[in-house]
Structure 1
């Protein structure tokens, strides 16, 4: 383990977070929240000071391998969450440090699960910081730093592989730094476009910013107690469309910008993603039609919730916990499906499910005809054995973590549906579950140990599991 380079990179993380903490301080200044502004300035100074101390460590080698990539990624997300929780505690908005850490991890991992029973009365600076953590965590803070860090060799791609969602990471252009810039450029552009559309719907500038942050990062922190139930149909449709757009693989947007329309349209994952959404919306609309005033309203709520759940955003336009069993079962299934790889969404990812289905088809063919060669292809390209193996291992680790977490939080005595959907919501970075953690409820009733389990799940889900697991291996920490 090259400890020096890990500390060096963590210093960049702390310095960056120190700069980001100035934005909610400005928001507090605009609303005359002097104490809250002081807390954010103090936290920013603390983060910058710690970053400056870490930066004094000199690394003899700038080479960055996969082991350092996993460790740096995991420690980075733990560190930004701990520092990000400080304003919640110091302002007294969330005095319990475990609750504050839960809220912050939920923000950065774009989960949107909250322990707060009511958010409408929180200071504006705190509301801004909650939603802004979604935007920072959506594309990944390390992806942003990749465009700036002076690393050598294959170092950039090792960091990107450790943080980016999906079974494999593709470079859009030959240089990883340029890829990171392109990804953030697309991310920022889509955020600004949604912000403008929301303003046309007569949403205030502050509310439009928070909504755009939450939608872009597919996060889900609301700033009203009923999430989006009280907003106009226009606002709900805008948010629905952009939630779905942010769940698309960003490689497809790059191909569209390069006018490679045929190649973008050939993506099996994107086609399957939209097909799943269309089928789910159709079934749920028919199932809840009698509950609303006409087809239009039923379709709007069905589309909003399907888009919210499959992209793991977690916004709510209604209390879907009151829907018929079939509709709720479909939403629970979508929690596991998730969005596309290379998007800001969570879940298992559509591409992994496609690979699993293709692998199953291959095995069935070879069971009937042992001599047949049946390669697995995705988008017309041969999928190598390493990608299939990594997908199978990921699913195995996912099932193990889900089962262990489910049993551990069951000690708190909640019913099975609550516990099952709580783990599904946190491990898949969704936010709301059902029953006691439903869209109009919160996670505050769980004990501190149960919340720590779900904090781990949120981080594991956002970082594709392996960076968090390698922290527990003794070999990870041995010097080379």
Structure 2
């Protein structure tokens, strides 16, 4: 790995983080939060200075190779998380440096798990920083670097493929810088549109800004401890459902739709499968959850409102909350867990396995069952109407197996600290899928503050591995990666 080239790109990444931190420090100063402004301002200055020195010391590197791209993404996210953690620690909001790193990593990976609370007691500058981290991590900070900097041509495709989630990473423009600008343009446009909609629906300006930043990013951080339930507005919840689902759809399809190409969006097999799974799972969850809610005096309209919002939140791995699903019947919770595991579409801001992979796996299982009965039949596995070759299907199956194994390994490790196995499994699944809220002791009404620092370190690794799609992180643990 060419460390000069790798750390030259990381210098630009840290500059972006420092600049955004500086903006939040400026807001805190204007809001009269002097202590918060210092907690944000000094790390912003230090991060910017460190990035400048690193940039100067690493000039003259060669174009990035695939190995270099993997190194930039994983090391860059770790260093960015370390820099982003400083305000949480210096402000006193996080009790330990590891808690601060956990909060920052949860933000930048758009997981939405938190160790902080009550949120209403935190300074607004720090709440804005949490939201800004999720906005930065949603589309990917390195994709932003590709969009803004002239060095995007130097191995830009390696960075793009290493950071963008899902099996589909098609270019939108001939140059990677054009593709990155197109994706970020759509991302910013949807965020601005949601901000406007929330303001029109009566949400306050600061709350609307923070929730717009965290919703299209499918991150889920809120300014209220009770989450979206604190606003008690059907209109706000409906708007968030729409924009969470938009965040869970392939952004290259949004880009084409904005250019007048609507057919790919309507005809895309993964999108149809994702939306169909959401509708089917939502209907099943309503049927399973409503009887218990009705027995407690709830109405069918109330069940529809709570369950549909929660299903959209879990299907897109956003983690916004209006209800506590840990109080629902176990079967309804299992439906939500399956939605978390699937996640959104490729090249979206959602986590999880991705709907396209799940669609391919289900087809492959059906094909094997058919071949058992009809050994001579020719039954191709298709995605969006295109047949997939056997090696690609095998690689998708291997990824899914590794994904599930990581969830199980995480649950096994966390069981050393969790009060029960459901909490350990729920925390592992919630962090690997980048959902945030889980089940049992890490449900929407709880935080991750119960875990000791060692467990938070494991959770940070799970969040990062899930956000960067496993192989990017696991490559660092392979001796062949470090050999020349």
TM over 0.5: yes
Residue 102 of structure 1: how far off its partner (Å): 0.6
Residue 60 of structure 1: how far off its partner (Å): 4.6
Counterpart Cα distance in 2 of 1:285 and 1:209: 31
Paired position in structure 1 for 2:301 = 296
Are 1:204 and 2:204 counterparts? yes
Are 1:340 and 2:345 counterparts? yes
Paired position in structure 2 for 1:402 = 407
Q: Which has the higher contact order (CA 8 A, sep 6+)?
A: 1
Paired position in structure 1 for 2:104 = 104
Q: How many residues align?
A: 479
Are 1:464 and 2:469 counterparts? yes
CA contact (8 A) 1:375 1:382 kept: yes
Of 327, 332, 344, which aligns to 1:327? 332
CA contact (8 A) 2:114 2:448 kept: yes
Counterpart Cα distance in 1 of 2:168 and 2:53: 35
Counterpart Cα distance in 1 of 2:194 and 2:279: 22
Higher mean alpha-carbon deviation, 307-316 vs 32-41, is at 32-41
Residue 148 of structure 1: how far off its partner (Å): 2.8
Are 1:415 and 2:416 counterparts? no
Paired position in structure 1 for 2:191 = 191
* Alignment RMSD: 1.7
Counterpart Cα distance in 1 of 2:225 and 2:90: 23
Residue 135 of structure 1: how far off its partner (Å): 0.5
Paired position in structure 2 for 1:273 = 274
SS in 2 for 1:21: helix
Structure 2 residue runs without a partner (length 5+)? none
CA contact (8 A) 1:358 1:376 kept: yes
SS in 2 for 1:377: strand
Paired position in structure 2 for 1:286 = 287
SS in 2 for 1:56: helix
SS in 1 for 2:193: helix
Residue 340 of structure 1: how far off its partner (Å): 0.9
Paired position in structure 2 for 1:181 = 181
Structure 1 residue runs without a partner (length 5+)? none
Superimposed CA distance per residue, residues 125-150 of structure 1 (whole angstroms, 9 cap, x where no aligned partner): 11110111111000000111112333
Are 1:214 and 2:214 counterparts? yes
Paired position in structure 1 for 2:138 = 138
Mapping of residues 122-137 of structure 1, within 5 Å: 122-137=122-137
Of 343, 359, 376, which aligns to 1:354? 359
CA contact (8 A) 2:108 2:138 kept: yes
Residue 174 of structure 1: how far off its partner (Å): 2.2
Paired position in structure 1 for 2:14 = 14
CA contact (8 A) 1:287 1:324 kept: yes
TM-score w.r.t. structure 1 length?
0.96
SS in 1 for 2:52: helix
Residue 456 of structure 1: how far off its partner (Å): 0.2
CA contact (8 A) 1:167 1:387 kept: no
Counterpart Cα distance in 1 of 2:212 and 2:187: 11
Alpha-carbon distance change, 129 to 83 in structure 1, aligned in 2, over 3 angstroms: same
